[in-house]
Structure formats: structure tokens, C-alpha cells
Amino acid sequence: RLIYGLLDADSGTVIWNGLPVTGPKFNLVPGVDSMKYLPQDFDLMPFISVAENVGKFLSNIYPQHKKNRVDELLDLVEMTEFANVKAKFLSGGQMQRVALARVLALEPELVLFDEPFSHIDNFRKNHLRRRIFSYLKNKNIGCIIATHDRADILGFTDDTLVIKDAQMLAFGTSEEVFRKPVSRYVASLYDEVSVFPAEVLGLSECSEKEVLVYPFQLKVVPQSLCQVRVVQSYFRGHTYLVEAHFFDRIIFFEHPTFLAAQSTVYLQYVA
């Protein structure tokens, strides 16, 4: 909301295309024309159709061009069959897809997404996520996305910024932030995370005394310095997430088969 100009900053300055972005104190109509913001409440007009909502900000001078653009966007978000349905009759996920189409209608230079797929069913979410981000890249439209879903980040974003309590904890390429988390909190945004003494995992050359480890970075071996006792195994579909005790610590690792509680196994770190 600060970036888009809906709020006035208490301190600091937002710069876009070399110019400061100012809020409601300085603008009768807040917002930046070259940006579009998708809030979590969607802000659709309930008593007009899906197609009318998507084309709300498109010019009526060339009606066929407008219709073609609306049809293209409805196809992008897989809402073509609902074109003539009033927005008030849609589910939350359908409303979110319509809102996604509407913010892209004028092809802004930058879109600001706030949890853009949070209301969409999982069976459709992954496919839609691929379509939306591919569309943005093909059109060279910049995107800033606020999200708690790692699937929105890994595989799609170029850079990741982690913020907690108004403090920047990490910033870098999305792969770098994931592979080299600067804290347990940052790592926990992606998966369960365990903390091990570096020497136990054979990482004596490591500059840190303790290392952060994701479950997929550990595997069961016949013998090692890292002996753990299984607490519980959770089925994940393609594998099991195993919770275990390493002395007084709770740790997690992945295993292809179920491991019984109280069984003892040895773990090895894999990069």
C-alpha cells in the first residue's frame, strides 16, 4: 500500500521511475497510474458481470478491442465460462481470479500482489500460478508479491526479501535465500528446519558451530555420529517427514518409508 501510494510514509521515501511516490496527503486520487495493486479483499463490483469487472478500466472507444482483451484475460485465469455471471454469485477463489485478470487489463509496468492465490483451490492453484507468472515475464511486467506460501517464491521469483517485525532479515536471489538461510526463522518459512552441531554432521570446515538443515538434506545411513530416536512419521505422499530426538532437540528428516516410533537410526548430511 505504501509502494502504490495508498499510505503516507512516516519516514523514508518510495521512488518509482526516478520520482517519489506520495500518498493521500498529496493526491486527491491516490495510487500510481503505471502500477496496479491487488488487495486481499478483491474490490470487485458485485452487481455487474465478471466480464464487466475485468473491462472496468478499459476504454469503450474500440469495443471489439476491449472485448478481445477481456476474453484474453478471462482465458488466462480460466474464467471464460463465468463471463456473464454477476460477481456476487462467485466463490472466493473465483473472485480472486477475476481480480487477478482486472489488475492486468491495462498492462501496468508493475503489479503489487497481496497473497494473490490464497483463496484458490490447490488443484487449480499450481496451474494458475504458472500461467500468471509466465504471462508477467512474457509481457515484461514487474511484480512484487507479499506471501507466506513458499510455492509462490521458489521457481517463480527472481529475488526474495524476508521481513519480520518491520526489520529486513534477508535479501538476495530466491535460490540464495533458500539455500543459505541467515536464521532459523528464515529457513522455517520454507520447511521444517533442524539445528545441528556442525561437527556431528561432518562439517568441521564450517565457520559456524551449528548449522541449519532442511529435512531433505538428511538421509538414513548404517552408521554415523548422528544417532537419533524416532518420535513419529508423517506421510507426505512421495515420502515421510520423520520427527526425531537428537539428545534434547527435535529434528526432522525425510525418509522413503515409514519408521516406527522409538526406533533408532543414523543420519548423514547431504548437500
- Its pTM stands at 0.86
Q: In terms of pLDDT, which residue wins out, 120 or 252?
A: 252
11-54 tens-digit pLDDT = 999 999 999 999 999 988 888 999 999 988 888 999 999 999 99
In this structure, what C-alpha cell is assigned to residue 157? 521469483
Q: Residue 202's pLDDT is what?
A: 82
According to the model, what pLDDT value does residue 138 have?
94
Q: What integer best gives the mean pLDDT of the chain?
A: 93
Grid cell of 212 as nine digits: 541449519
Whether the per-residue pLDDT at 223 is higher than 70: the answer is yes
Model pLDDT, residue 145: 95
Facing residues of 228 across strands?
A: 265
Q: Kindly indicate the confidence band of residue 57, based on its pLDDT and cuts at 50, 70 and 90.
A: confident
Q: Which residues pair with 164 in a beta bridge?
A: 167
pLDDT of residue 207: 65
Give the pLDDT of residue 122: 82
For residue 238, give the C-alpha cell.
Answer: 512421495
Residue 261 CA to residue 106 CA, distance in Å, equals 57
Nearest to residue 143, comparing CAs of 160, 126, 128? 160
186-201 tens-digit pLDDT: 999 999 999 998 888 8
Give 208's pLDDT tier (boundaries 50, 70, 90): confident
**How large a percentage of the chain has pLDDT more than 70?**
99
Q: Which of 257, 262, 225 is nearest to 245 (CA)?
A: 262
The mean pLDDT value for 119-131 works out to 89
- HEC profile for the chain? CCCCCCCCCCCCCEEECCEEECCCCCCCCCCCCCEEEECCCCCCCCCCEHHHHHCCCCCCCCHHHHHHHHHHHHHHCCCHHHCCCEHHHCCHHHHHHHHHHHHHCCCCCEEEEECCCCCCCHHHHHHHHHHHHHHHHHCCCEEEEECCCHHHHCCCCCEEEEEECCEEEEEEEHHHHHHCCCCHHHHHCCCCCEEEEHHHHCCCCCCCCEEEECHHHEEEECCCCEEEEEEEEEECCCCEEEEEEECCEEEEEEECCCCCCCCEEEEEECC
The predicted-structure confidence for 73-109, as pLDDT tens digits, reads as follows 999 999 999 999 999 999 999 999 999 999 999 999 9
Residue 48 is predicted with a pLDDT of 95
The pLDDT value given to residue 199: 87
Mean pLDDT of 148-174: 93
pLDDT at 174 over 80: yes
Question: Across-strand partners of 111?
Answer: 36, 143
* Structure confidence at residue 66 (pLDDT): 93
C-alpha cell at 183: 536464521
